[in-house]
Amino acid sequence: MKKIDFKSLVVKETDDYLIVNKPPYFSTLEDRHEAQNMLALAKQEFSDIQVCHRLDKETSGCLVFAKNPEAYRNIAMQFEDRKVEKVYHAVAEGIHDFNGLMVDRNLTASNNGIARIVVNGKSAQTIFKTVRTYFSHTLIACKPITGRLHQIRIHLAYLGAPICGDELYGGKPLFLSSLKRKFNLKKDTEERPIMQRVALHAYAISFTDLSGEKISAEAPYPKDFAVMVKQLEKTSK
């Protein structure tokens, strides 16, 4: 795996907090199958640093670290009280006009890491707003109120808007051949999806620091997500 320059990932830094743009395919915490993880990279720069939440391995975007125990307790209380505001961007299949639509459907997680909507599950709410529509896809801003396993993914699938590449919850990979009419694939070549993961990015986060001042950050799209959005824009004109 390519070695990552941790400092190049930083999008916001204060005396107490560090917010980085996590690349896709990197685990937040130690993973016995991976040589690198985000917490280990952070500890090479700050020995006492703690990661404040988790992102799925495939998910890119805003990840917050606390530089000291007091800062960690401060944001942990905000997560518990649901005062941390997070916005994800997702590319979903189909045309959808969501204007602050809230999905309130309880979830449960099985032992094999798959979430399901069940009446007696844990409370889960997500607010969805359309950012832009394309020819047959939609870029959606997703604001989770709670933080359940695969919450955004399964709530979008519930709405009939599965995320591109999310085959676990009904989404399909997006191929360039499905967007371009005159697409020619070289002979004896297998076409690959435009993006080889779930099209989900942790775009923005905001919370308050120890003095009560608001801290906000946005994470630019990584290359694969940016390429997908660009292709959708080009083929929708």
Distance CA 165, CA 199 (A): 6
Catalytic residue among 5, 15, 48, 56: 56
Cβ proximity of 67 and 17 under 8 Å: yes
Strand (E) or helix (H) holding 139: strand 137-144
**Any catalytic annotation for residue 166?**
no
Terminus-to-terminus CA distance in the chain, angstroms?
37
Phi-psi region of 95 (alpha: psi -120 to 50; beta: other; left: phi over 0): beta
Sign of CA dihedral 161, 133, 179, 219: negative
Tokens of 50: 């703690």
* Pairing label, strands 85-93, 17-22: unpaired
Tokens of 217: 């950050």
Q: Active-site positions?
A: 56
